[in-house]
Amino acid sequence: MSFSSDVKEELSRQESGKRHCQLAELAAVFEFCGEAVPSGEGGKRILVRSDNVLVIRKSFTLIKKTSNIISHIDIRQNGRFAHSRSYLLRVDDAQDAARILDALKVDGREKDEVCRGQPTSPLLLQNDCCRRAFIRGAFLSAGSMNTPEKSYHFEIVCDTIPQAEQICSLLEGFGIDAKLVERKKKTVVYVKEGTQIVDLLNLMGAYVSLMQMENVRILKDMRNQVNRQVNCETANLGKTVNAAYRQIEQIRLLQEKGMFSKLSQPLREVAGLRLEHPEASLKELGEMLDPPVGKSGVNHRLKKIAEIAGQLEEREDNEE
């Protein structure tokens, strides 16, 4: 199973104890997966379609808890693959459907009109707990998440812009900065920042998945920190090697031109050690001297050698 499936499995087991929260979650499922269609009895019947059995199971439970109505479930095999199925939850009785639609504040008075994809009434989303339940239902019905080992990405796919704007507004109320993007005639609400996705898991009640994601984030942060440190040390090593190579070239130039013996004793000592230990740092060279000299002292002497070599090179260039 994917991480997204694990999150939905966990959320499907979350049960709100208060009816107003149950209605908010059911309203989200109806908004994204349901519709009210004309029935032969002159009223409406309710249909909830999904390829995810968790959505159907949750819808069945929420309808039973909020209205004490038993719905019916049909299962359809898709193609040749045994695991590919679609599910349909039905409330065929017009009076039962009317009770549910009334509880969900869905305007289904027009008998011949199909009610589908309407943003949920704000009356059902007045409390923080109800807004959390609604977001949980929306993600269960139309959301997905990337595996955090690969990338941080949370999204809910909406059929209409009003739906997406409602989700964005609810998320902003919890301090989550969601974005919108058009994709294949759908409007997608998405979040890409790892910390905010953790906050989302928390407000939906996916606490086990939250801990799993936090563990991944800690490992990734540690790995990134180690990589930064290694890169920094590699860069510093490269600078040290390049500087040592240049210093050796300058010392050998002085030897070739007979200038090495004219250097002062301290400069000759540092120059000799540099030739013997090309890989050594300035600090290590200073510790080899007798008496030892600090890093700045060694650097001063090598700079003096570089200055003398530079003057020699300049003089030779002018002579040419």
Range of weakest confidence among 41-50, 123-132, 189-198 = 41-50
Helix, strand, coil percentages (3-state) for the chain, rounded to 5, are 60, 15, 25
CA-to-CA separations, 276 to 150, 247, 288, 294, in angstroms, rounded: 48, 12, 11, 19
Query: DSSP letters of 73-121?
Result: EEEEE-TT-TT-EEEEEEE--HHHHHHHHHHTT-----TTPPEESPPPP
End-to-end Cα separation, the chain, in angstroms: 76
Range of weakest confidence among 14-23, 153-162, 309-318 = 309-318
Do the domain assignments include residue 269? yes
Is the preceding peptide bond at 291 cis, omega within 30 degrees of 0?
yes
In terms of domains, do 177 and 314 share one?
no
Structure tokens, 279:
């890989």
Q: Structural domain tally of the chain?
A: 2
Do the domain assignments include residue 177? yes
State the Cα angle at 155 between 90 and 145, rounded to 5°: 95
Do the domain assignments include residue 211? no
Residue 181 has pLDDT above 90, yes or no: yes
pTM over 0.85: no
Average pLDDT of the chain to the nearest whole number? 88
Structural domain of residue 108, as residue ranges?
Answer: 3-205
Do the domain assignments include residue 86? yes
In terms of domains, do 135 and 255 share one?
no
Residue 317 has pLDDT above 80, yes or no: no
pLDDT band at 48 (very low <50, low <70, confident <90, very high): very high
In terms of domains, do 164 and 91 share one?
yes
Q: Which residues contact 159 (CB under 8 A, 6 or more apart)?
A: 32, 117, 186, 187
In terms of domains, do 74 and 115 share one?
yes
Structure tokens, 145:
């998440």
Q: Of 205, 226, 255, which residue constitutes the final position of a domain?
A: 205
Sign of the alpha-carbon torsion through 235, 241, 247, 249:
negative
CA atoms within 13 A of residue 84's CA, in its CB half-sphere = 4
How many helical (H) and strand (E) elements, i.e. helices and strands, does the chain have?
11, 9
- How far is it, in rounded angstroms, from Cα 289 to Cα 151? 53
102-121 pLDDT per residue, tens? 999 987 655 567 788 889 99
Residue 54 has pLDDT above 90, yes or no: yes
- How far is it, in rounded angstroms, from Cα 189 to Cα 199? 16
Do the domain assignments include residue 294? yes
In terms of domains, do 247 and 191 share one?
no
In terms of domains, do 171 and 271 share one?
no
Do the domain assignments include residue 226? no
In terms of domains, do 258 and 178 share one?
no
Q: Of 205, 228, 252, which residue constitutes the final position of a domain?
A: 205
In terms of domains, do 189 and 246 share one?
no
In terms of domains, do 170 and 40 share one?
yes
Helix (H) or strand (E) holding 72: strand 72-77
How would you write 244-283 as a 3-class SS string? HHHHHHHHHHHHHCCCHHHCCHHHHHHHHHHHHCCCCCHH
pLDDT band at 41 (very low <50, low <70, confident <90, very high): low
Query: Which amino acid is located at 260 in the chain?
Result: F
- Please, are residues 136 and 28 in contact by the beta-carbon 8 Å criterion? yes
Of 150, 170, 173, 151, the closest CA to residue 162 belongs to: 170
In terms of domains, do 242 and 195 share one?
no
In terms of domains, do 62 and 178 share one?
yes
Do the domain assignments include residue 72? yes
Do the domain assignments include residue 222? no
CA-to-CA separations, 20 to 65, 67, 68, 214, 261, in angstroms, rounded: 11, 12, 15, 31, 94
In terms of domains, do 179 and 248 share one?
no
- Please, are residues 286 and 298 in contact by the beta-carbon 8 Å criterion? yes
CATH of the domain at 24: 3.10.28.10
DSSP assigned state of 293: -
